[in-house]
């Protein structure tokens, strides 16, 4: 068994290559092989969002606080709120982030396959983001 104490977890700014705006990440679990589960607590400042991306084995988002948005390639943008859980199927191109005027924090849970959890695509345009 391994216990990770909260005082040992450090917040870090997410890589700007994959995000627009300021996004903070904190690891929750990165289980050693043969397990493949990965989880992060991700906090988006107002207007911040991911780039378009997919997950080989799908992704679950559980909103912990605030109000966010999630969009898909068909142009659908849905509002998500604290307590909501979203399942994104494998290989579905999507993005997620905060609304323009509210922060949002979610738990992102996904599985790794051959060490990969996501395939990153282009940044989300302001036009795609503003479809909300």
Q: Model confidence at 132, in pLDDT bands (50, 70, 90)?
A: low
Tell me the per-residue pLDDT of 71-127, one tens digit each, with 9 for 90 and over: 999 999 999 999 999 999 999 999 999 999 999 999 999 999 988 999 999 999 999
Supply the pLDDT for residue 114.
87
Is residue 107 a contact partner of residue 44, using CB atoms and an 8 Å limit?
A: no
pLDDT bin (cut points 50, 70, 90) of residue 32 is confident
Kind plus residue range of the DSSP H or E element containing 61: strand 59-72
pLDDT tens-digit series, residues 38-59: 999 999 999 999 999 999 999 9
The CA-based angle 49-52-56, given to 5 degrees, is 120
pLDDT at 33: 85
Q: Is the pLDDT of residue 31 over 90?
A: no
For residue 94, CA distances in Å to 26, 55, 88 come to 21, 9, 8
């Amino acid at each position: 068994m391994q216990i990770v104490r909260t005082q040992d977890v450090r917040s870090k700014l997410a890589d700007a290559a994959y995000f627009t705006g300021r996004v903070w990440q904190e690891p929750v679990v990165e289980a050693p092989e043969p397990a493949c589960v990965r989880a992060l607590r991700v906090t988006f400042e107002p207007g911040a969002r991911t780039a378009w991306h997919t997950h080989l084995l799908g992704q679950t988002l559980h909103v912990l606080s605030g109000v966010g948005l999630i969009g898909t390639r068909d142009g659908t943008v849905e509002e998500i709120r604290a307590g909501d859980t979203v399942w994104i199927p494998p290989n579905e191109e999507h993005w997620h982030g905060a609304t323009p005027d509210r922060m949002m924090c979610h738990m992102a849970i996904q599985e790794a396959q051959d060490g990969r959890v996501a395939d990153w695509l282009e940044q989300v345009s302001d036009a795609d983001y503003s479809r909300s």
